[in-house]
Amino acid sequence: MSPSWLIISANGNVLPLFIKWHVYIVNGLSNNMTLFIHCQSSDNDMGNHNLSPAANFSWSFRTNFFHSTVFSCYIRKDDAQATFKVFWQDPVLFERCKWKNCIWIAKDDGIYIRDFQNEQDEFQYQWEALAEVAENN
């Protein structure tokens, strides 16, 4: 563990203080498919982005004093979508991200996180089919 400032919570969890976190959303889709993303926290909106194949979008931040920082993303491909948390206060997540870089990869079969601890991409979320738009009669 590399952080120089840590706080131990009442339940024994280690909470990072002053760590600069980096979140990456990677378009790992096949067939030259574009990935739409919109990520935000309660304090920061990262805006709308269209990622070309193999491209990524990233941002950096420090957690708030109360260690309640949460970032979520809505992502969409041609026929499916997903909404999920990409950062929250969780020691397991911190280990997966190696206390610095949380890398999320949108693949054809679902959403993965890069698990640095086990050196593999770990499946996390399924795609949800886009609801068909009803045609006007």
SS3 34: coil
- Burial (Cβ within 10 Å: 0-12, 13-18, ≥19) of residue 118: exposed
- φ and ψ of 88, to 5 deg: -160, 170
For residue 121, count other CB atoms closer than 10 A to its CB: 17
Please say if the pLDDT value at position 76 is more than 50.
Answer: yes
- Answer whether 0.85 is exceeded by the pTM: no
Question: What mean pLDDT comes out for the span 69-73?
Answer: 96
pLDDT-derived band at 16 (thresholds 50, 70, 90) equals low
Q: Are 62 and 19 in contact (CB under 8 A)?
A: yes
Boundaries of every domain in the chain: 20-36+74-128
